[in-house]
Each structure stands twice: as structure tokens, then as C-alpha cells.
Amino acid sequence: MKALFRSIYELIGAPQPPADTPVYRDVIFPNIGLLNLGISLAMVVVFYYLINRAMGVATFNKGRHWAIFLVLNGLVAFLVTVWQTSAQQVTDHSYIYWLATWNAILGLLWFFLFSLILRKGSTNASTTPF
């Protein structure tokens, strides 16, 4: 799993400064990768199954509502990265914000893919976002 997340997150370049590279590869990349997947899946489940199926909120099934959750998911992914890097006490560097931006983009992608897979189980939003 570490190698998978390492390859995904190092697409933007190697961690900086080089002294912190082992912390990124062994701790931060797997943590933010798994958190990103879990949070994205949870947001999709909340949108499709909790709000639009269990609660039956027929007015919260539009594309703009889905976009709110998409953007919220990207924001949470960004903040999780900043939180994880500060929790591991790595050196402050602009790489942290590039990594957080990349993680937010990946969060948007995961949310979109999970939406395509899980949207059919919703009674009110089975056609959202399309």
C-alpha cells in the first residue's frame, strides 16, 4: 500500500526537503491516501444514502448540491494533508501546499468515481450529477 500511495503522491515531485522524505513515504503518504479514500467514500454515502435515501430530502438532489459535496470533499482533503504534515512535524516548505492541492484533486477524483458507482442506490439522486 505504501508503494501505491508513494507512486501516486510523488507524481508532483519528490518530497522537500530531502531529509523529510522517509517520513513522507512511510507515514504521510499512506495516511493521507487512506484518509482521502475513506472521507471521499463517506461523503458519497452521506449524499446518496443518508440525505437522499434515508431522509428522503427530495429537494437536495440537484447537480449544484452534488457540487457542494464535491467541493467540500476537496477542501477536507486539502486540510487533512496540512493537518497530517503538521502532526508529523515535517519542515515547513511549499511542498506541503503542493501536496495538499494534489490530494484535493485526488479527493475530487475519488468522489466522482464513488459517485458513479454508488448513485444508483439513491432514490432521489440516482441521476445526480448527470
| Ranges of H-type helices in the chain | 2-9, 21-23, 29-45, 63-87, 94-118
pLDDT in tens, 97-110: 999 999 999 999 99
Length of the chain: 130
pLDDT in tens, 60-100: 778 898 999 999 999 999 999 999 999 999 988 899 999 99
Helix (H, G, I), strand (E, B) or coil at 100: helix
pLDDT band at 56 (very low <50, low <70, confident <90, very high): low
**In the prediction, which pLDDT does 58 show?**
66
User: Average model confidence (pLDDT) for the chain?
Assistant: 90
pLDDT band at 43 (very low <50, low <70, confident <90, very high): very high
Q: Average pLDDT in the 30-51 region?
A: 94
